[in-house]
């Protein structure tokens, strides 16, 4: 009996600081499977419910008034944050990027009026200060060999391309979550880390969801 060959990652390890090859292959395989095994948009990109996705979008949006701002959605998935902003009637100039071309193709089908690109910012950054605000939702939730190294590299790159503030979230270690494949941080750890990135101010937002923490990094 013939067996299927193991999933082969199309991403290059040298472009993902803090990852092992196993981490990288697993990440690509996971999102490939999610996209093809589910119909609900939120589950196709790894969220359990639409409510858990939306409450995080709401928290991220508290970073500042964004009317007519130019924003970057890093790890945009199927573009649900753009859909949320439209629903809330927040007029922005939106760009969504994701690592996976197949995800971006689906995002374009769902939201043909938005700008989406398959792009790794660590390899192909935008010009400095191209966006007013940048957002990363769920990007750091999966446990890899060295999450802190990856987070630092990504956030420093995103900060370079952002004029005003970067907002990102992480899973709260104080929540009691027991999933070995998830990366968890304490509130103190994540605020200390944010301040180490050379920003003027790092602000922690919590108590909006028992599993989650959001940090605003103001330039």
**Position 7 pLDDT exceeds 50:** no
Binned at pLDDT 50, 70 and 90, residue 54 comes out as: confident
Q: Span 48-71, mean pLDDT? A: 88
Which comes out higher in pLDDT, residue 52 or 91?
91
**Position 49 pLDDT exceeds 90:** no
Q: Are 97 and 74 in contact (CB under 8 A)?
A: yes
Q: Where are the domains of the chain?
A: 18-218
DSSP structure class, residue 142: B
| Residue 38, pLDDT score | 45
**Position 1 pLDDT exceeds 60:** no
Percent of the chain with pLDDT over 70: 88
User: DSSP for 8-60?
Assistant: ---S-GGGSTT--HHHHHHHHHHHHHHHHH--SHHHHTT-S-HHHHHHHHHHH
| Residue 218, pLDDT score | 98
| Residue 178, pLDDT score | 85
CATH ID of 18-218, from 3.30.1360.100, 3.40.50.2300, 3.40.50.740, 3.40.50.150: 3.40.50.150
């Amino acid at each position: 009996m013939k067996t299927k060959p193991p999933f082969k990652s199309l991403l290059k390890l040298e472009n993902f600081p803090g990852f092992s090859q196993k981490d990288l292959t697993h990440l690509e395989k996971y999102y490939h499977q999610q996209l093809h095994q589910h119909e609900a948009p939120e589950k196709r990109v790894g969220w359990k419910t639409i409510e858990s996705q939306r409450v995080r979008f709401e928290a991220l949006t508290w970073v500042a008034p964004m009317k007519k701002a130019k924003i970057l959605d890093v790890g945009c998935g199927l573009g649900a944050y753009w859909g949320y902003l439209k629903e809330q009637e927040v007029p922005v100039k939106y760009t969504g990027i994701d690592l996976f071309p197949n995800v971006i193709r689906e995002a374009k089908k769902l939201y043909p009026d938005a700008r989406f690109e398959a792009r790794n910012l660590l390899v192909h950054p935008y010009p400095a200060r191209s966006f007013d605000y940048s957002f990363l939702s769920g990007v750091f939730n999966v446990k890899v060999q060295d999450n802190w190294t990856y987070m630092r590299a990504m956030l420093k790159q995103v900060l370079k391309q952002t004029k005003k503030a970067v907002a990102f979230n992480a899973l709260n270690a104080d929540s009691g979550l027991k999933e070995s494949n998830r990366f968890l941080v304490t509130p103190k750890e994540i605020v200390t880390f944010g301040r180490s990135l050379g920003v003027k101010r790092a602000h922690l937002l919590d108590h909006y969801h028992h599993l989650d923490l959001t940090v605003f990094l103001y330039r």
